[in-house]
Amino acid sequence: MKEILRVENLTVRLPQPDGMMTVARDVSFSLHEGEILCCVGESGCGKTTTALALTDLLPEHSRVSFDRLVFNGHVAQDATTCASWRGQGIANIFQEASAHLDPLFCVGAQVRETLITTRGLDEEAAHAEARRLLDRVGLKPAEDVERFYPHQLSGGMNQRVLVALALACAPRVLIADEPTTGLDQALRLELAGLIKGLAAEKGWAVLWITHDIDLAEVVADRAMVMYAGRIVEEGKAQDVFTSPLHPYTQALLACRLRKDAAGRLPSIYGEVPNFRALPAGCAFHPRCAQRLKECDKTIPETFPQAGGRKVRCYLRRTV
Amino acid sequence: MLRDFSKRKQAQFGLLLVGLFLAASLIGPHVCPWQPDAVDEAHLLTPPGRSHWLGTDQLGRDILSRLVAGARISLLIGFVVVLIATAVGVLIGATAGYFGGGVDNVLMRLVDIALCFPVTFLILAVIAVLEPSTVNIILILGLTGWMGQARLVRAEVLSLKSREFVLLARSYGASHSRIILRHLVPNAAGPVIVAAIFGVAAAILAEAGLSFLGLGIQPPTPSWGNMLADARSTLGVAWWQSLFPGAAIFLILVALNALGEAARASLRHEGKNYERDPAR
Amino acid sequence: MIIFLAKKLGQMVPVFLGITVISFFVIHLAPGRPSDALTELNPKVSLEVRERLEKLYGLDKPIGQQYRDWLTRIVRLDFGASFADGRPVTAKILEALPVTLLINFASLVLILGIGIPLGALCAVRKGTWIDKAISATLFLLFAAPTFWLALLLMDWLGVKLGCLPVFGIKSIDHEYLSGPAKVLDIARHLVLPVTVSTIASLAGISRYVHQNMVQTLREPFVLACRSRGLPQRLVIYRHCLRNALLPVITILGLSLPGLISGGVIFESIFAIPGTGRLFFASVMARDYPVIMAMLVLGAVLTLLGNFLADIGYALADPRIRYPKNAA
């Protein structure tokens, strides 16, 4: 499958009242057409920041640096190149759909607006196409739904509107930042199914961010795990979820709501580190039961494994 | 919060100016060479010079000493008015918020009614009806300025009412008034203080306006407002007469506004997350 | 939404009554009797005449009765006759209204036309020197007392440079001017008052818009709009501004009473024959019918203004116009 987006050593620093804070470090991955890459990790590990950085949507005064960032053959010189990719090949959908829609415009108008501005359609064509898109995402009958305002629709329906808006951009890459979080279980699967179906149909490359591992298991083709701003493991979804190689991934998977042998809910010892006070060496080592001598000295590089897998851990060091 | 406040440049600037005015009003009258109503017949309407640093008015009175005397009156009125307005406002607002229901309804209707009147009209009407005197002015200004505080306090009390510490106090039998005064009001202090600072500015301005119209501090007692009124008849001829009193009002207002802004900003930062959580 | 508005109207009634009560009794706070205003300065007025006057004005009836009589008259917009010159109060007010309306309307247009863009500009360019410079200037203007600014401007532009007239709204020879010249004459007289009036409120609106804009810019939907590649101008003018200006409608409604109540100090300085000066003159002359009438009118207009602001908001904000319903 064709590689459509390549990220090499992306580092993001965000402005804070007490100075810049590095939130994502040396993040590298690539997206391929027709493939869904899930990015999993606990809240606050840097997933969203990475996603926003790809199209320069971070807050003002943020600092983004990378070795290489290529989309559809275009090499990015700096952040402004990334900005030009918004809606022109890369589309975003977000968590909390209702908050991401302008409350003063009906949903039909918002879809039409995107069609007219980013795809250059004229009014009439936009009307028809907007209805078609709303219908495609399951909002039927479109003629009625398009006149509603976001506050009149449910969270799930608004999320479908966001998907329709993404469709309107005719993207090649879709960045989905926790699109199903906060929805009811049934809705969650429905929506996930919708997005996955559309991705397969249009051949999208999808970066799907979630902290719900169960969901990731269902939708992902490939998976990457983030911890404290770094990617610690990457590989085919099946591999990562059934035989995780990094201690953090192992612990994460063990943490899913299943009691262990003694009838207790498992948890990972320790706490997620403060970005300002990261441990020396591997960021996970204080919480790692399998740590080696060198784990608190230097940060492990990413070691390639069999089957196209990568792990950032000295335990898997390839000589 | 105090530390954040004191670090702000606006606060420091404001405090400095207000301090200057306070100092001037307290020690000024003892230091100035001229009495506020002393008439220097040799220097009628003279521009700023050696003997009269800020010039004299058409009656030969030294403007600087009158300014300083006026500072005393204006600051006094400003603070006392706000004291009254805040006391009344806090009382009404806290009662309304705490007891809720019918009491709240009636009190808030009262506030609504009071807020309907164009403030200037009301003040003027009442001052005209009762003769202008310092006490009357203070009373009127105080009694027309409490509504804002009442609403603020009521809002705070409403949100604090159901918090645990109130339930705790009730559970050990604390009386209503004790709860209101010892627990609820101090927690609502922040916004009330900010409003009070702006209130002092408003009161000083109102007094100046009234005096300007002749319905405030009566001559010969100097007030910045009535000094400006005196300047009306010498328009174009004596720039110093209109510049200095007005500048005094302007400066104290700037200082108080700066203080208020700084206080408001400090308050906002208290529990706030500065930037959006970076990795949401 | 009809219910929403009906409820609001219902709440207005007790407030209206309260207004009338206060307006009425404020006057009766005065020591002495209201008829003293008419007879005080004339020692030759006998007791008999005084009694006749009191009967004429219904001042011999019990206070509750007086209030009720007065109330029934004013709801028919009959405010009685002025103590000062006997003319109907309504006529006097209507006479003074146009000038005040003109000045206030002109400055409202300017305030909105200049204040809103300024506020929006500062918000979009937050932190830059433009933002700091404009904010600082507005802060200073906000703090400057209007009557001081008026005096300074009059002194400088009017007297020293002599380019603008400072008093009244017409020149002495106004009657002899041609049609267009008349208009120009009035316009020239209005420049200073309108300027001062505008400066006074400019900072307020600008800061309000600024705050709202800054807050709106942080909303998630703005990020979502930008993520679709919508041009920055579209995002700001179409989406942000509209959301940020919604509360400004409230301000518009609240400025309704301000339109007819002229600034008393302001009209006094510029010798403008508007409602402000009328009120002031009435206050000085203890002309109670006029005072009461203007108090009531001012308060009722505030009430109306609030109501209109509520309607306006309901119309503009679809979240109020269309109640939530699961489609």
Model pLDDT for residues B233-267, shown as the tens digit of each residue? 887 778 888 888 889 999 999 999 888 888 888 87
Number of domains, chain A: 2
- Proportion of chain B above pLDDT 70, given as a percent: 94
Q: Specify the pLDDT at position A192.
A: 92
In this structure, are A54 and A112 located in the same domain? no
Take residue C113 and report the two structure tokens written for it: 């036309």
DSSP string, A233-272: EEEEHHHHHHS--SHHHHHHHHTSS---TTS-----SS-P
Cα distances (Å, whole numbers) of residue C141 to A46, A229, C117, C135: 45, 48, 17, 10
Contact residues, chain A, for C223 at CB < 8 Å: 57, 94, 100
State how far the Cα of C224 lies from the Cα of C216, in Å rounded to an integer.
13
Closest CA–CA distance from residue A169 to any residue of chain C (Å): 7
pTM of the model: 0.80
Say yes or no: B280 contacts chain A, CB-CB below 8 A: yes
- Chain B, window 204-263: residues with a beta carbon less than 8 angstroms from a chain C beta carbon: 205, 208-209, 212-213, 215, 228, 231-232, 235-236, 239, 242-243, 245-247, 249-250, 253-254, 257, 261
Start-to-end CA distance of chain C, whole Å, equals 18
Report how many Cβ contacts below 8 Å link chain B to chain C: 127
Q: Count CA atoms closer than 13 A to C101's CA, side-chain side.
A: 6
**Are both A285 and A255 inside the same structural domain?**
yes
Task: Please check whether residue A212 lies inside any domain of the structure.
Answer: yes
**Residue A213 contacts residue A244 (beta carbons within 8 Å):** no
The pLDDT assigned to C39 comes to 58
Residue B277 at interface with chain A, using a CB cutoff of 8 Å: yes
Q: Which residues of A168-188 are buried (b: 16+ CB within 10 A; e: fewer)?
A: bbebbbbbbbbbbbebeeebb
Asked which of A117, A144, A168 is the last residue of a domain, the reply is: A168
Which residue matches tokens 């700001």? C236
Q: Does residue A183 share a domain with residue A303? A: yes
Chain C residue numbers with beta carbons less than 8 Å from the beta carbon of A106 are 318
Instruction: Report CB contact under 8 Å: B249, C145.
Output: yes
In angstroms, how far is CA A205 from the centroid of its own chain?
11
DSSP string spanning C275-319?
A: HHHHHHHHHHTT-HHHHHHHHHHHHHHHHHHHHHHHHHHHHH-HH
Query: For the sheet containing A222-227, what is the strand order?
Result: A90-93, A173-177, A205-210, A36-40, A222-227, A230-236, A310-311, A303-304
Residues of A in contact with B276 (CB under 8 A): 59
Complex ipTM = 0.89
Type of residue found at A177: D
Cβ pair A96:C220 closer than 8 A = yes
Residue C62 backbone dihedrals phi, psi, to 5 degrees: -60, 150
The torsion of the CA quartet B96, B99, B101, B104, rounded to 10 degrees, works out to -10
pLDDT in tens, chain A (319 residues): 789 999 999 999 998 878 889 999 999 999 999 999 999 988 778 889 999 999 999 988 889 999 999 998 889 888 888 888 998 899 999 999 999 999 999 999 999 999 999 888 899 999 999 999 999 999 988 889 999 999 999 989 999 999 999 999 999 999 999 999 888 888 899 999 999 999 999 999 999 999 888 899 999 999 999 998 899 999 999 999 999 999 888 888 887 756 555 666 667 777 778 888 888 888 888 888 888 888 888 888 888 888 889 998 888 887 6
Q: How far is CA A61 from the centre of its chain?
A: 22
Give the Å distances, CA to CA, from A1 to A29, A75, A206, B251: 15, 20, 13, 71
Note whether residue A207 is domain-resident: yes
- Kindly state whether residues A72 and A157 are assigned to the same domain: no
Cross-strand partners of B235 = none
Mutation target to probe the C interface, by most C beta carbons within 10 A, among A100, A160, A184 is A100
Establish if A95 belongs to a structural domain: no
* Integer Cα distance of A83 and A79 in angstroms: 6
What was the pLDDT predicted at B260? Answer: 87
pLDDT of residue C45: 59
Top residue of B117, B123, B210, B256 to mutate, by most chain C CBs within 10 Å, is B117
pLDDT digits (tens, 9 = 90+) for B182-235: 777 777 788 888 889 999 998 999 899 888 888 888 888 888 988 888 888 887
R_g over Cα of chain C: 25
The answer to whether residue A97 sits within a structural domain is no
Cβ atoms of A141 and A172 within 8 Å: the answer is no
* One domain for residues A145 and A197: no
Residues A151 and A70 in one domain: no
Query: What CATH number does the domain containing A279 carry?
Result: 3.40.50.300
> What integer pLDDT is reported at residue B278 of this predicted model?
33
| Domain region containing A109 | 103-168
Task: Quote the pLDDT of residue C43.
Answer: 59
Residues A218 and A197: beta-carbon distance below 8 Å: no
Give all chains having 3 or more CB-to-CB distances under 8 Å with chain B: A, C
End residue of a domain, out of A128, A148, A168: A168
Instruction: Look at residue A98 and tell me if it is in a domain.
Output: no
A94 in any annotated domain: no
How far is Cα of residue C146 from the mean position of the Cα atoms in its chain? Answer: 15
CB < 8 Å from A in window 161-220 of C: 219-220
User: How far is it, in rounded angstroms, from Cα B154 to Cα B150?
Assistant: 6
CB–CB of B209 and C145 under 8 A? yes
Same domain, A161 and A175: no
**Of residues A101 and B140, which shows the higher confidence score?**
A101
Across the interface, of A87, A106, A149, the residue whose CB is closest to C228 is A87
Residue-wise pLDDT for C97-141, tens only, equals 888 888 888 888 998 999 999 888 888 888 788 888 888 888 888
Q: Answer whether residue A45 is part of any domain.
A: yes
**Same domain, residue pair A143 and A286:** no
Query: Contact B59/B252 with Cβ under 8 angstroms?
Result: no
Domains of chain B, start order: 2-28+59-267 (1.10.3720.10)
User: Closest approach of chain B CAs to the CA of C230, in angstroms?
Assistant: 22
Please identify, among A143, A168, A193, the residue that sits at the C-terminal boundary of a domain.
Answer: A168
- Give a yes or no: residue A248 inside a domain: yes
Considering the domain architecture, whether residues A186 and A64 belong to the same structural domain is answered as yes
A205 with A304, same domain? yes
| Cβ(A187)–Cβ(A195) below 8 Å | no
d(CA A95, CA A210): 10
The pLDDT of residue C44: 60
Q: Do A22 and A74 lie in a common domain?
A: yes
User: Rounded to whole angstroms, how far apart are CA atoms C92 and C77?
Assistant: 13
Yes or no: say if B118 and C299 are a contact pair by the CB < 8 Å rule. yes
Contact between A117 and C230 using a beta-carbon 8 Å cutoff: yes
In a shared domain, residues A80 and A145:
no
Query: Do residues C320 and C313 touch, judged by C-beta distance below 8 A?
Result: yes
Q: How many CB pairs under 8 A join A and C?
A: 86
Could you tell me which chains touch chain A, where touching means 3 or more CB pairs under 8 A? B, C
H or E segment and range at residue A191: helix A185-202
